[in-house]
A and B are shown apart, each in its own frame.
Chain A
Amino acid sequence: GQNIDQPTEMTATEGAIVQINCTYQTSGFNGLFWYQQHAGEAPTFLSYNVLDGLEEKGRFSSFLSRSKGYSYLLLKELQMKDSASYLCAVRPNGGATNKLIFGTGTLLAVQP
């Protein structure tokens, strides 16, 4: 089966750093995506990892360890607008299907 786990909720303080973890067990692996979703809105793409290591993009960084089936999203200099759900998604296969399997999402609350 396919299984992607994330913490359900997290709370952090404005200006701080938060790390959201994602572990996965899937039938295959061809990339991991992080999306941000504000309540009632569309998921928006944040980052992509297919090789081990850290990808940095402004205040957001994402790390992948394929041998451990583990990724994290690091958010720095937190802002109130970062309060949202963060979705980890794995693409188990290559080819034209580009199917994504989403984790349950982590609801992040940023407090003043």
Chain B
Amino acid sequence: DTEVTQTPKHLVMGMTNKKSLKCEQHMGHRAMYWYKQKAKKPPELMFVYSYEKLSINESVPSRFSPECPNSSLLNLHLHALQPEDSALYLCASSLILDPAAKNIQYFGAGTRLSVL
């Protein structure tokens, strides 16, 4: 089983709304990631959690707030977003093994976000 589940699949929100994206995996992975992907562009890393602690923040604006409540769940809280934040938000997870190992990242299907 290599499934990463993201909800909701689609989300439309206004610039004053607060919403959350959710990601769940039950593969025992201890690294979880948030990526942002614009149309016809590659995924851009936003955040990495390792052992439920934030290990990478790629200078993401504070209107995006990640949370990792336990080893299976990853949330992305959204507040006061801008229309340019409209994109596909992808969650991924991987094992954390020896650095030379594959540690393949498995992706969820994403949440397509539209900010009006």
Contact = CB atoms under 8 A, between A and B. Distances in A.
B56 interface: yes
A34 B106 CA distance: 12
Contacts of A96: 31, 50-51, 55, 96
A8 to B, nearest CB: 9
Contact of B107 (A43, A91, A103, A105): A43
B100 A105 contact: no
Given A44-B107, A97-B48, A104 B41 contact: yes
Interface string A85-110: 00100010011111111111101000
Contacts of A54: none
Contact of A99 (B41, B56, B104, B110): B56
A28 to B, nearest CB: 11
A99 B96 CA distance: 12
Most chain B C-beta atoms within 10 Å of own C-beta, residue among A91, A96, A101, A107: A96
Interface residues of B, number: 29
A100 B110 contact: no
B31 A98 contact: yes
B99 A41 contact: no
A111 interface: no
Contacts, number: 64
B22 to A, nearest CB: 15
B74 interface: no
Interface of A: 30-31, 33, 35, 40-45, 48, 50, 87, 91, 94-105, 107
A50 B99 CA distance: 11
Query: Which of B40, B42, B102 is most buried by chain A, counting CB atoms within 10 A of its CB?
Result: B42
B43 interface: yes
Nearest to A51: B100
B90 interface: yes
A42 B42 contact: no
Nearest to B95: A98
